[in-house]
Amino acid sequence: MNDFHNLLLQRRSIRKFTDQLLTPEQTQSILQAALLSPTSKNKHSWEFVVVEDKERLNALSKCKPSSAALIADAALAVVVLGNPLDSRVWIEDASIAAINMQLQAEDLGLGSCWVQVRDRYFSETCTSGEYLSVLLELPMPLEVLCIIAFGHKDKKRPHNDIEKLRWEKVHIEQYRLPEIE
């Protein structure tokens, strides 16, 4: 259990990657973590598009103005999809799979960053999900939740500080309003 705790302390969003590619074993391990994730009623409402091609990574990076640019420099991106016809909780199922992949990447010493797509915009008239649906030729009714970018960390970030945990966000037995000073 101590190893998992340390993994949680170590995992940080990484937005800068080296040029080094992932090994096939690293990619397989990341994808296994997604496929091992639990789903509501065992529906497996998620699907994944794996992208390693540099031109396609660059195209993915344009799904949101500026905030998705980091994808262009990643070694791997996994587009996390869900099928709302398979499960009403596809967002939760896909989110669990996404974080499983991020934790697996950290365990392998790799960096990752979640790029939110659902409810984001490519332009004033086109959602990020619509842009990606055309780019990746996604069939209906699949919807894009996020893209997880992976790669070798350009530089290490300090671990999360356990002394800065927001314990005021934890309520025991019932919600308690903060005391006014």
Cα–Cα distance list, 64 to 43, 61, 73, 124 (Å):
30, 7, 15, 11
Query: How would you write the pLDDT of the chain (181 residues) with one tens digit per residue?
Result: 569 999 999 999 999 999 999 999 999 999 999 999 999 999 999 999 999 999 999 999 999 988 999 999 999 999 999 999 999 999 999 999 999 999 999 999 999 999 999 999 999 999 999 999 999 999 999 999 999 999 999 988 889 999 999 999 999 999 988 778 7
For 41, what's the count of Cα atoms within 13 Å in the CB-facing half-sphere? 7
Q: Which CATH superfamily is domain 2-156 in?
A: NADH Oxidase (3.40.109.10)
Reference 115, options 49, 70, 54; nearest CA is: 70
Q: What are the structural domain ranges in the chain?
A: 2-156
